[in-house]
Amino acid sequence: MALKTEELVLNMGPQHPSTHGVLRLELELEGEVVKNVKPHLGYLHRCFEKHAEAMTYPQVIPYTDRMDYLASMYNNFGYVVAVEKLLGIQVPERVEYIRVIMGELQRIASHLVALGTYGLDIGAFTPFLYCFIDREKILNLFEITCGARLLYNYMWVGGLSHDIHPDFVRLTKEFIPYFRPRIKELNDLLTFNKIFIERTANIGVLPVDTAINYGASGPVLRGSGFRWDLRKNDPYSIYDRFDFDIPVGQGLVGTVGDCWDRYYVRVQEMEQSLRIIEQAIDNIPDGDVQSAIPKRIKPPKGMVYSRVENPKGELGYFIISDGSTSPFRVKVRAPSFVNLSVLGEMSKGHLVADVVAILGSIDIVLGEVDR
Amino acid sequence: MFEWLSDLTGNQILAAFISAALPVAFIVPFVIFAVWLERKVSAHMQDRLGPMRVGWHGWLQTIADFFKLIQKEDIVSSEVDKKFFNMAPYLVFIGSYAVYAALPFSNSYIGSNIDLGLFYIIAVSGLVVAGILMAGWASNNKYSLYGAMRSAAQIVSYEIPTALVILAMVMFTGTLSLAKLSDLQTSSFWNWYIFGGPDWGWSKLLVLPFMLVAFLLFYISSLAEVNRTPFDLPEAESELVAGYHTEYSGMKFAMFFLSEYGNMFAVSAIASVLFFGGYQSPIGYIGNSLGISWLVPFEQVFWFASKGIFFVFVQMWLRWTLPRVRVDQLMTLCWKYLIPYAFVNLIIIGIISLI
């Protein structure tokens, strides 16, 4: 006689240590094997897009800070690039260089959090703090520049809120040789650890066609082996002037597109970001960072879609202007949100512990998912 | 110890009570020290300072935490099975406390010098599983239940390699008594079983590598038995929140904590008795060379505690270095690697002890 069995529904979150915020996952389990994953969103919804309609264009910038709060610089970057495109203005060289340096520093900081918390998800506590020590150094650089450590409101339409600090160039140059060996240390401690590889290789394999079908971008897409980076494929700002590589997943320890590949793409991207900073830091031209800021931002009627390569993926801003001082509509294509949609596809048939590993490898920030 | 106390007090019940209470006098200060040590070890490994405010380098921190835990509200959710929920932490604690009864702290203090000491320890530590299962089931929480099921599977599986290693040691030494095992490894560290035991000759050289293997097997499986990283799945915080003790608060949680640290020392102590001479000093006794014989037992307690704490330190070291394995990998490691190796080791050590 067959015993009556039923699937166990386990609610993971919204309060759970490793859902990276207030995400709720409804897991249908058979034993410890996951049959289905349903993400429930919206616990952190703050109506950013609707708010933006009531604000003038510069007033929207602090709101963009609060989307992906681990990469605020880059959210500013994406927004100001979009508005500048709408206005059709050119910003001074100095501003472009500083924006790129800040953006790449922010990318390293964001990846450090991603890698550190990923270690935490797998059960290694120490790499997390090592990553945070290094992130702290980057936040110090931001702090001397604009006074803020998390939400910067630094990039303004047509310019920057502050010029860089006189010490900034020196401190950044000190940071680069300090940080390179730290990446190696992280690799020794976590990346090539046998247990870590056992936990992440061949787990949550995302084939490249599925990744494209779901619209995944950033390290999630590149981890699957597809060389797609907007800094190279659709260059904005002055990224076409720098020489850097786009790391992709190669299946070094498992299958192409597994959790380890997505993780390792981030590690390699940090090195590439250092290369960009190295090239940019010596060539910052002189000038005034606020000269191009318009007195009154009143774009002509029209619409614009502009995208940048955020640490998490393709961050797009779609802005409709009705000719007034505030946008008629702002829509954000949030990379975390789109990448999160692949979770169900990747987790089926894995264990509960793997769902945590897969979710961590997507690197979501709920502020951006829910907006 | 018991005889000596009953002679002293003239009352058997009082003597039994005192000798049963003595391990508590060791466990509680040890746990307070070990929790502080764990914080300090983790802090220094992670480039931080750890507790610094309460007392010199924060040594009073754990005591402050202890008082905080006593004052906390004892939350019992309305959906729990109250009888089992309340019983479980004490059962877990009894399981780890009972082990201390047979640990030889020195040749004049053993709670109960029974001949079947090793056998007894394996048996009573099984109580911990019952307590954990009870806690997980009674909590009426899916995470707790998962933690408890994992824990039961894990501890039961890993008892096999542990028992096989202990069996090999019993065959080699011919005794199950922990006190006798310690006595055999007397006078110098070269007589410890990790270095092949006290019998000089070619058999010592022959058995030495297998003793090293036996120690490694024992240590790995003891890590799993006390739920320490990389085998801390029952309380894997990134998956199961806090595992079987998710629903516990206040003093009941402290009981789980106490027994976890108590267990850590217990397995370390057994490892040191089996392989590292137990309470025997590696370099001889100051008491003997000065002619003060009452000093010797105290020195033995010192050596026993230091060896135990050293292995506890290694457990902490591993915890703050390694990630956690997955539940199926844990079982693979046990059944496909540890148990076959332990079997082969058992046979080889058996053959060596025959010839």
pLDDT tens track for A83-113: 888 888 888 888 889 889 999 999 999 999 9
d(CA A308, CA A293): 21
pLDDT tens digits for range B86-141: 888 888 888 888 888 788 877 776 766 777 888 888 888 878 888 888 888 888 88
Min mean pLDDT across A174-183, A260-269, B46-55 is at: B46-55
What residues of chain A have any CB closer than 8 angstroms to a CB in chain B?
8, 10, 16-18, 32, 119-126, 129-130, 133, 189-190, 193, 195-196, 198-199, 351-354, 356
The shortest C-alpha distance from B239 to chain A (Å) reads 6
pLDDT tens digits for range A326-338: 888 889 998 988 9
Residue of B48, B233, B237 lying closest to A17 (CB–CB): B237
With bands split at pLDDT 50, 70 and 90, how would you rate the model's confidence at B210?
A: confident
pLDDT of residue A249: 84
B232: chain A residues, CB-CB within 8 Å:
123
pLDDT of residue B67: 86
pLDDT tens digits for range B147-180: 888 888 888 888 888 888 888 888 888 888 887 8
A32: chain B residues, CB-CB within 8 Å:
146, 327
The answer to whether B81 contacts chain A (CB < 8 Å) is no
Residue with token string 């990389």: B230
Q: In this structure, which amino acid lies at residue A363?
A: D
Mean pLDDT, rounded, for A290-306? 83
Most A CBs within 10 A among B322, B327, B336, hence the mutation to make, goes to B322
The shortest C-alpha distance from A126 to chain B (Å) reads 6
d(CA B318, CA B302): 24
pLDDT of residue A1: 63
With bands split at pLDDT 50, 70 and 90, how would you rate the model's confidence at A139?
A: very high
State percent of chain A over pLDDT 90.
Answer: 8
pLDDT of residue A108: 92
The answer to whether B327 contacts chain A (CB < 8 Å) is yes
B239: chain A residues, CB-CB within 8 Å:
18, 352-353, 356
Contact A352 B329 (CB under 8 A): no
Mean pLDDT, rounded, for B231-236? 73
d(CA A49, CA A331): 6
> How many CB atoms within 10 Å of residue A29?
18
B143: chain A residues, CB-CB within 8 Å:
10
Mean pLDDT, rounded, for A192-208? 87
The shortest C-alpha distance from A11 to chain B (Å) reads 9
Mean pLDDT of chain B: 82
The answer to whether B7 contacts chain A (CB < 8 Å) is no
Contact A199 B320 (CB under 8 A): no
| C-beta of residue A344 within 8 angstroms of C-beta of residue A325 | no
State percent of chain B over pLDDT 90.
Answer: 1
A34: nearest Cα among A3, A63, A1, A7: A7
Contact B328 A193 (CB under 8 A): no
ipTM: 0.78
The answer to whether B45 contacts chain A (CB < 8 Å) is yes
Min mean pLDDT across A113-122, B74-83, B154-163 is at: B74-83
pLDDT tens digits for range A217-227: 889 999 888 88
Q: Please list the residues that pair with B110 across neighbouring strands.
A: B104
Taking CA–CA distances from A20, the nearest residue in chain B reads B238
Q: Phi and psi of A353, rounded to 5°?
A: -60, -30
Q: Could you say which architecture CATH assigns to the domain A47-370?
A: Orthogonal Bundle (1.10)
Mean pLDDT, rounded, for B198-205? 74
Taking CA–CA distances from A124, the nearest residue in chain B reads B323
**How is residue A103 written in tokens?**
């953006």
Mean pLDDT, rounded, for A115-142? 89
The answer to whether B152 contacts chain A (CB < 8 Å) is no
Cis amide linkage into residue B89, ω under 30° from 0: no
pLDDT of residue B2: 63
Mean pLDDT, rounded, for A331-351? 87
Cis amide linkage into residue A39, ω under 30° from 0: no
Contact A353 B323 (CB under 8 A): no
pLDDT of residue B223: 86
d(CA A114, CA A125): 13
List b or e across A181-216, with b for residues whose CB sees 16 or more CB atoms inside 10 angstroms.
Answer: ebbeebeebbbebebbbbbbbebbbbebeebeebbb
**How is residue A366 written in tokens?**
């709920």
d(CA B344, CA B217): 12
**How is residue B160 written in tokens?**
């096999």
The full 3-state SS of chain B, as one line of letters, equals CHHHHHHHHCCHHHHHHHHHHHHHHHHHHHHHHHHHHHHHHHHHHCCCCCCCCCCHHHCCHHHHHHHHHHHCCCCCCCCCCHHHHHHHHHHHHHHHHHHHCCCEEECCEECCCCCCHHHHHHHHHHHHHHHHHHHHHHCCCHHHHHHHHHHHHHHHHHHHHHHHHHHHHHHHHCCCCHHHHHHHCCCCHHHCHHHCCCCCCHHHHHHHHHHHHHHHHHHHHHHHHCCCCCCCHHHCHHHHCCHHHCCCCHHHHHHHHHHHHHHHHHHHHHHHHHHCCCCCCCCCCHHHHHCCCCHHHHHHHHHHHHHHHHHHHHHHHHHCCCCCCCHHHHHHHHHHHHHHHHHHHHHHHHHHHHC
Taking CA–CA distances from A360, the nearest residue in chain B reads B238
Contact A353 B48 (CB under 8 A): no
CA geometry: angle at A315 spanning A313 and A316, to 5°?
A: 145
Contact B327 A133 (CB under 8 A): no
CA geometry: angle at A60 spanning A55 and A66, to 5°?
A: 130
**E strand map for A113-196:** 155-156, 159-160
Taking CA–CA distances from A10, the nearest residue in chain B reads B142
pLDDT of residue A111: 92
| C-beta of residue B182 within 8 angstroms of C-beta of residue B297 | no
The answer to whether B332 contacts chain A (CB < 8 Å) is no
With bands split at pLDDT 50, 70 and 90, how would you rate the model's confidence at B209?
A: confident
State percent of chain B over pLDDT 70.
Answer: 95
> How many CB atoms within 10 Å of residue A71?
28
| C-beta of residue B151 within 8 angstroms of C-beta of residue B227 | yes
Residue of A8, A17, A189 lying closest to B241 (CB–CB): A17
Residue of B42, B233, B323 lying closest to A193 (CB–CB): B323
pLDDT tens digits for range A38-65: 888 888 888 888 888 888 888 888 888 8
Per-domain residue ranges of chain A? 47-370
